Amino acid sequence: MALASPISALVPTRILDRSEVARDVILLGVEAPGLVERVRPGHFAMALLPGGQAAGVALGIYEARGERCSLLFFLAGDRTRRLGALRVGDRLDLVAPLGNGFDCEGAERDVAIVAGGVGIASVLLPAQALLARGARVRLFYGARTAERLVEAERFAAEGCELLLATDDGSRGYNGVVTELLAREDAAEAILACGPTPMLRAVSAYAQERNIPAQLSLEEAFGCGVGGCWGCVVPIVRTSAQAPSFPPSDADGSDVVHARVCVEGPVFRAHELRW
């Protein structure tokens, strides 16, 4: 696991391009010189809403190349709608890059990436890194409907094998993506990002088969930079990601709360106690 904290900064950016890749799904490209070289697979950014007033939005960094990074997000509430209302040329300040990111330097040659919904935004950079070192990458990608399987073709074009699932059967396997994962040949390693129920199922699957799995967690953030302890997850005290913290009386001494924003968002499945 890439454990070293990135050198993050407050990065003023400008919107270069904006597209609605599906209904209520926005891809924003931003010009961010100096940021791209610091971004590793699985890093995220806090996007500060213009005018403040509401907490920043934590978004996986989708693409990072040249002087352009992009953010892919669903219009799900007030805050994402304010972000989605930005236009080309507008300013957008990011606190980035944040988090530990995925470890893509392992020796595994056959890797499964499991993505659910907006989790797809955090797995393009790891897919590219794995493909670049010659690994076979299968993308298990689930969404509610075919229309919501955004950017699937992009992953195919990069060289991923696509295994798709939809809740309504409108494309690919009719059911949840973790069922599809269990029906296929096991990979040597798993990277996953998506809603918590999906991650729990991936975790159970991987631990039954003793497959190393890295999970990028979704949790509501307060500050996003480690100051508020709002976004925690229980992990084993023996984890290299466990913050230095004494055992407490009321709770077991083998578990400690780690911050998803700083110690994570990527955790090893077998170290979580959620």
Partner 1 sequence: MVELSKFDLSARIGSLVLPYPTVALSGCYGSGAEFAPYVDLSRLGAVVLKSVTRRPRMGNPTPRIVHTPAGMLNAIGLQNPGIEWYLQHDVAKFAQTPCATIGSVAGFSVDDYAYVCERLAARNEIAAIELNISCPNVAHEGETFACDPELTARVVRAARATTDKPLIAKLSPNVTDIATIARSAVAAGADALAVVNTVRGMAIDIYQRKPRLGNVTGGLSGAAIRPIALLAVYEVARAVSVPIVGQGGIETASDALEFILAGASAVGVGHANCADPRAPRGILDGIVEYMTQQNVRRLRDLVGAANTGFANINQIEGDEG
Contact 67, 31 (CB under 8 A): yes
Report if residue 55 touches partner 1, rule: CB under 8 A: yes
Structure tokens at 169: 């059967």
- The contact pattern for partner 1, residues 193-232, with x = CB under 8 A and - = no contact, is --------------------------xxxxxxxxxxxxxx
Peptide bond into 265 cis (omega under 30): yes
Binder of partner 1 out of 134, 185, 210, 244 (CB under 8 A): 244
Binder of partner 1 out of 25, 28, 95, 269 (CB under 8 A): 95
Structure tokens at 77: 């509430």
Binder of partner 1 out of 34, 37, 78, 87 (CB under 8 A): 78
Which of 4-12, 83-91, 116-124, 136-144 is the region at the interface with partner 1 (rule: CB under 8 A)? Answer: 4-12
Residues 6 or more apart whose Cβ sits within 8 Å of residue 250: none
Report if residue 246 touches partner 1, rule: CB under 8 A: yes
Distance CA 235, CA 160 (A): 31
Distance CA 66, CA 32 (A): 9
Kindly tell me which of 7 and 240 has the beta carbon lying closer to partner 1: 7
Report if residue 248 touches partner 1, rule: CB under 8 A: yes
Least separation in angstroms between residue 140's CB and partner 1 is 25
Report if residue 254 touches partner 1, rule: CB under 8 A: no
Distance CA 101, CA 143 (A): 23
Dihedral over Cα of 86, 87, 92, 94: its sign? positive
Least separation in angstroms between residue 98's CB and partner 1 is 10
Binder of partner 1 out of 66, 185, 210, 249 (CB under 8 A): 249
Binder of partner 1 out of 4, 7, 157, 240 (CB under 8 A): 7
Distance CA 269, CA 56 (A): 27
Distance CA 164, CA 152 (A): 8
Least separation in angstroms between residue 119's CB and partner 1 is 18
Distance CA 154, CA 4 (A): 30
Q: Which residues would be at the binding site for partner 1 (CB under 8 A)?
A: 7-10, 48-49, 52-56, 77-79, 93, 95, 219-233, 244-251, 255-257
